[in-house]
């Protein structure tokens, strides 16, 4: 729609400013002495055009949506109903569901109900992102606040990226914050080099008014200003990188032997370590099953993730080798542009890997798997054995098998039968609903089991006199559960799981041991598996002592298990003996799980110290 004369007048000033910005930019580029001069000139043109385009939109006037027409109201009402259904179908706690629904009902503008639902469903993601940004050590306060503000104000809607991946403002803000943190870390190290350079003879020998000296002073001052935690400006990664290039160029103009800090690989290394742990690893000790967000993802998403991880590892290897080469006193210093190009390769690899991880459409099967592990022992319980109806036992058996089959199908371990829908082709939301429904069904079936072991019939009921010396029935159910759990713990891949559902929650520590050990191996073994490092870790006194405690706890468990089996097989064992054996075995299992968890933590801590000192 064309502007009328009045609207043209309102936009004229902005367009004249944009035209002037182009002329000014040409002059600036022609006379530029450092990279940031060129970038600032180009950014100024873009800003002027953005202002001009906004002036046109403002001149046209925006539709007032604060008061919806009847037709608009019907659209708004439909949007409200759709978004309330999203909330009702979610796994949010009831109180949070009700708050989101109330907010949706109060919405006055089209688009607001969707934003409210998005933020409610992504509330945990938003809080986690804010914590991650707060933990970025190199950002100044203004930078942290700027990224935090983006996350707090977002409508959390998804959008397509140029590479075909999908993300939201939360993902984008985190990615940008991480990139800026990397840029700030490099600038911090270069500023340290510059401070030492300023105390050297080449700098001190310069006369006041020397242009190269002034360029260095200006660049050092600008770097120091943004690095000021309390008062630094909220510059983004590109702007910080320009300051880095200005400072390195200024030093190299004065001394061509000066080297930059090289490529920062810390964030890429951390992402690679984290993402490798998502994949199953049969070669690890102990073998790891991976994370369900990967194992239940669709094939194309896993393939893209695998490719991005491989590329990231290659980029990491190249960067580390180049950094090592740069330490050679005889190597040629990289120019600011060369360093920037190499840093960009690492940053691009990180961005691609993060997006591939976020694109994984796997689902969280951990609660369902935990319920399966717990309920696998239920068949040994009185509630199952003496259930009042066969139908309840059958319903439980089917729910348990269906739950196991679903996980196997989602992970690809079990293929869909002929004529059966392939669940791996479903959307992430559809797959998660299948998992949630299976969990609810299994819990309901388990809770419905109502069996109770019958008390022995009295003598009078059998037509005989009461015999006070009749033997008392001994309940060995809990003891058998503990024995089976201990034996299951010793099986490969099952350590720590067997005590779930035993009535004492002693399996939790075992799960912690398994998780800690897996995390320690996954995080510390990656990139640090040299024989020298391993030897240093294993010879450490603290590690040896922790391993000794594991051996001691294992011996105690073996003795308790042998005693428990003996009591279980004894037809004359008393209830007190049975209970004592069960209690002792349960305690031994917990002690072993705790010792293993402690040993894993000690080994991880020692490895980190070895790597840091090396």
pLDDT tens readout for residues 416-468: 888 888 898 888 889 989 999 999 999 999 999 998 887 765 443 444 334 44
* CA nearest to 122, candidates 82, 155, 88, 83: 155
User: Would residue 453 count as lying in a domain?
Assistant: no
Both 377 and 441 in a single domain?
yes
Residue 27 has a pLDDT of 58
| H helix intervals, 299-335 | 299-326
User: Quick check: 342 and 334 in contact, CB under 8 A?
Assistant: yes
Helices 541-569 and 477-489: crossing angle, nearest 10°? 140
pLDDT value at residue 65:
47
Contact indicator for 264, 185 with CB cutoff of 8 Å: yes
Judge if 172 and 234 occupy the same domain.
yes
Burial of 465 (0-12, 13-18, 19+ CB in 10 A): exposed
CB 279 within 8 A of CB 362: no
Handedness of CA 210, 213, 218, 219 (dihedral sign): positive
Residues 50 and 90 in one domain: no
pLDDT for the residue 312 = 98
* Distance of alpha carbon 32 from the chain centroid: 43
Is residue 489 in a domain?
no
**What is the total count of domains within the chain?**
6
Please check whether residues 566 and 582 belong to one and the same domain. yes
pLDDT computed for residue 62 by the predictor: 39
Spell out the residues 6+ positions from residue 227 whose beta carbon is closer than 8 angstroms to its own.
Answer: 140, 184, 187, 188, 191
Residue 566 lies in a domain: yes
What is the rounded CA–CA span in Å between residue 74 and residue 71? 5
On whether both 252 and 286 belong to a single domain, the answer is no
Answer yes or no: do 177 and 254 share one domain. yes
Q: Where a domain ends, among 403, 426, 448?
A: 448
Last residue of a domain, one of 237, 261, 285: 261
User: Quick check: is 518 in a domain?
Assistant: no
Residue 516 lies in a domain: no
Q: Report how far residue 416's alpha carbon sits from residue 368's, in angstroms, rounded to the nearest whole number.
A: 20
Whether residue 436 contacts residue 449, with contact meaning beta carbons closer than 8 Å, is answered with no
Helix (H, G, I), strand (E, B) or coil at 174: helix
The confidence score (pLDDT) of residue 471 equals: 45
- The total number of residues shown for the chain amounts to 614
Cα–Cα dist 398/178, whole Å: 47
231 vs 314: CA distance, rounded Å? 38
Convert 27-61 to b/e letters by CB count within 10 Å (16 or more is b): eeeeeeebbbebbebeebbeebbebbeebeeebee
Give the other-Cβ count within 10 Å of 183's Cβ.
26
Q: What is the pLDDT of residues 187-203, one digit of tens each?
A: 999 999 999 999 999 99
Same-domain pairing of 101 and 117: yes
Say yes or no: 55 and 86 in one domain: no
- The closest alpha carbon to 177, from 231, 123, 236, belongs to 236
Phi and psi, residue 292, nearest 5°: -65, -20
Question: Are 318 and 372 in a shared domain?
Answer: no
Q: Identify whether residues 293 and 330 lie together within a single domain.
A: yes
SS3 236: coil
Q: Is residue 156 part of a domain?
A: no
- Asked whether residue 420 is assigned to any structural domain, the reply reads yes
Element (H, E) at 159: strand 158-160
The ranges of the chain with pLDDT < 70 are 1-71, 456-472, 491-529, 614
Asked whether residue 101 is assigned to any structural domain, the reply reads yes
What per-residue confidence (pLDDT) applies to 103? 94
By the 8 A CB rule, do 360 and 294 touch?
A: yes
234/268 same-domain check: no
Q: For residues 223 and 247, is the Cβ–Cβ distance under 8 A? A: yes
Domain around 78: 73-135
């Amino acid at each position: 729609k064309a502007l009328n004369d009045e609207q043209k007048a309102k936009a004229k000033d902005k367009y004249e400013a944009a035209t002037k910005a182009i002329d000014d930019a040409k002059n600036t580029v022609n006379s530029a002495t450092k990279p940031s001069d060129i970038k600032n000139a180009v950014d100024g043109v873009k800003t002027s055009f953005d202002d001009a385009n906004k002036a046109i939109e403002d001149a046209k006037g925006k539709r007032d949506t604060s008061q919806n027409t009847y037709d608009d109201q019907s659209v708004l009402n439909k949007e409200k109903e759709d978004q309330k259904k999203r909330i009702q179908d979610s796994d949010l706690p009831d109180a949070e569901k009700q708050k989101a629904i109330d907010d949706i009902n109060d919405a006055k503008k089209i688009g607001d109900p969707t934003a409210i639902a998005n933020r409610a469903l992504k509330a945990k993601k938003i809080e986690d992102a804010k914590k991650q940004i707060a933990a970025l050590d190199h950002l100044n306060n203004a930078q942290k606040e700027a990224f935090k503000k983006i996350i707090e104000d977002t409508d959390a809607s998804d959008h397509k990226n140029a590479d075909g991946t999908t993300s939201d403002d939360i993902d984008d803000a985190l990615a940008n914050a991480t990139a800026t943190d990397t840029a700030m870390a490099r600038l911090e190290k270069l500023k340290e080099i510059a401070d030492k350079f300023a105390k050297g003879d080449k700098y001190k020998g310069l006369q006041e008014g020397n242009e190269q000296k002034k360029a260095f002073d200006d660049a050092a001052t600008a770097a120091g200003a943004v690095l000021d935690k309390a008062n630094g400006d909220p510059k983004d990664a590109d702007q910080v990188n320009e300051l880095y290039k200005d400072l390195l160029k200024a030093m190299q103009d004065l001394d061509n032997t000066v080297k930059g800090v090289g490529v920062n690989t810390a964030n890429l290394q951390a992402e690679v370590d984290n993402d490798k742990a998502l994949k199953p690893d049969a070669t690890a000790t102990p073998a790891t099953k991976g994370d369900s967000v990967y194992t239940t993802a669709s094939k194309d998403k896993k393939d893209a993730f695998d490719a991005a991880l491989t590329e990231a590892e290659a980029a990491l290897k190249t960067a580390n080798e180049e950094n090592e080469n740069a330490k050679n006193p005889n190597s040629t210093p990289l120019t600011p542009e060369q360093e920037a190009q190499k840093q960009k390769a690492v940053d691009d690899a990180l961005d691609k890997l993060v997006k591939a991880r976020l694109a994984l459409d796997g689902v969280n099967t951990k609660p369902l798997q935990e319920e399966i592990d717990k309920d696998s022992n239920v068949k040994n319980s009185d509630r199952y054995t003496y259930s009042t109806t066969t139908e309840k036992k059958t319903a439980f058996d089917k729910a348990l098998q269906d739950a196991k089959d679903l996980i196997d199908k989602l992970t690809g371990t079990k293929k869909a039968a002929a004529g059966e829908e392939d669940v791996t082709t479903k959307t992430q939301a559809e797959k998660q609903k299948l998992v949630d429904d299976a969990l609810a069904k299994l819990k309901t079936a388990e809770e419905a089991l109502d069996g109770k072991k019958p008390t022995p019939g009295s003598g009078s009921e059998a037509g005989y006199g009461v015999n006070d010396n009749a033997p008392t029935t001994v309940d060995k159910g809990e003891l058998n559960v503990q024995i089976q759990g201990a034996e299951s713990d010793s099986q490969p891949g099952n350590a720590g799981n067997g005590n779930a559902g035993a009535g004492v929650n002693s399996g939790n520590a075992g799960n912690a041991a398994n998780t800690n050990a897996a995390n320690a191996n996954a995080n510390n073994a990656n990139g640090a598996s040299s024989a020298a490092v391993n030897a240093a870790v294993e010879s450490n006194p603290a590690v040896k002592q922790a391993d000794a405690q594991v051996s001691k706890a294992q011996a105690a468990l073996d003795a308790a298990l042998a005693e428990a089996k003996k009591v279980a097989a004894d037809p004359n064992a008393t209830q007190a003996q049975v209970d004592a054996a069960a209690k002792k075995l349960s305690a031994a299992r917990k002690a072993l799980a705790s010792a293993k968890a402690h040993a894993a933590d000690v080994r991880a801590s020692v490895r980190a110290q070895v790597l840091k000192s090396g």
